[in-house]
Structure 1
Amino acid sequence: MKLASAAGGFILTDMTLKASLPPLLIAIVVAAGQASAQTSGAPLPASVQTAWSRVRAALTAQQQANEVRGFLSALANENRRPTIPALDARDIASGRAVSLDDPALVQRPQAHEVTVTVDGQFLTYRPLSRASLEPFFGR
């Protein structure tokens, strides 16, 4: 079996169709993996990743609020301008999406899971208090 690389894929040479199916399937899977890696976005800069891990590791509401501010600061430093990322919220118990202006999100933030989208990456956390959400709303 001979595999030749072509732009974005592989070409199988010197094989019958029946003998080439398993290697062909492997080549398709490899090519699909390469394509998805190219479209999934680059990894976040180390400073932003570190700041986000601190948000997720926070144990108290005040600590988490401070870490959210630190995350937004790290994001602003990387982008060279203040940036407020897109947010989505979900009720943990029901799994339903919650509007960001839903009073329940502010009244009981710990009952929700928030997803922050940055450069194609989805970062999820559970806010421990209203103060952990306010920096995302510019407050």
Structure 2
Amino acid sequence: MIEVMKLVKNAVGREVPTEINEEKQIPFMGVNKYKVDGVKHAQKIPSNSDFPLDGNKTVASLKDALIKAGLKNGMTISTHHHFRNGDLIANQIFDIAKELGVKNLRWFPSASFPCHEHLIQYLEDGTINRIEGSMNGALGKFCS
């Protein structure tokens, strides 16, 4: 059965969906019309003692960087396509995520290429649960 998308008119008169990819959306209500509800957890305030004395904040590996960045279930990872079909960093990121047991990641590439076929296994096992971006090659075929 095909589900009909529910549309509502926003403040500028455009019909927009109330849900996209199973996530509720709030249509534009006009300038200063929408008041956010809830609270926001602030990040830890860094101090000089958190960084090396020489100022070099590089880490030994991509895995260390992802751990320090706080990679966890449900996060969005965005990558740029400047390497095009030579981009293997996205593959490495999700290899590490799998190794760390991280699940339900959203990948937001500016584009995917045949070199990203490797990521199909992570769509199948739940490491990646959504891709939002241009899809090409075997990965594009898999998702269509």
State TM-score, norm by structure 2. Answer: 0.29
Q: Which has the larger radius of gyration?
A: 1
Relative to its length, the structure with more helix (as a share) is 1
Q: Which has the higher strand share?
A: 1
